[in-house]
Amino acid sequence: QLSSLVGINRQKLKTGFKSVYGNTIYKALREERLEHASLLLMAGRSVKEAAEEVGYANQGHFASRFKEKYGVLPKDYLKTIRSKLEV
């Protein structure tokens, strides 16, 4: 879809994106989604709300991806944020 929107073939888009950004388009989008989710958690959203808002229908899948990126489960990330706000 994206390749037709920008008017180049799919393989060129994938190769060019990876050479410029050092990551695949899929991984870059996933990183953006997870970063947005962390901001939503900081803003007071629940884990379920953050997961749904960034496009994860399955909370377990969201939690495992979040832990891959941040080293903690989203619920623990949320607890840490809330405890820091209480200080």
Would you list the domain boundaries of the chain? 2-86
Q: In this predicted structure, what is the pLDDT of residue 61?
A: 97
Q: How far apart are CA 82 and CA 59, in angstroms?
A: 20
Joined together, the tokens standing for residue 47 give 């884990």
Percent over 90 (pLDDT), the chain: 72
Contact yes or no for 78/72 (Cβ under 8 A): no
Residue 1 in this model has a pLDDT that exceeds 80: no
Residue 34 in this model has a pLDDT that exceeds 70: yes
Q: Which CATH number fits domain 2-86: 2.40.110.20, 1.10.10.60, 3.40.50.980, 1.10.287.3510?
A: 1.10.10.60
Per-residue pLDDT band at 54 (split at 50, 70, 90): very high
Residue 30 in this model has a pLDDT that exceeds 90: yes
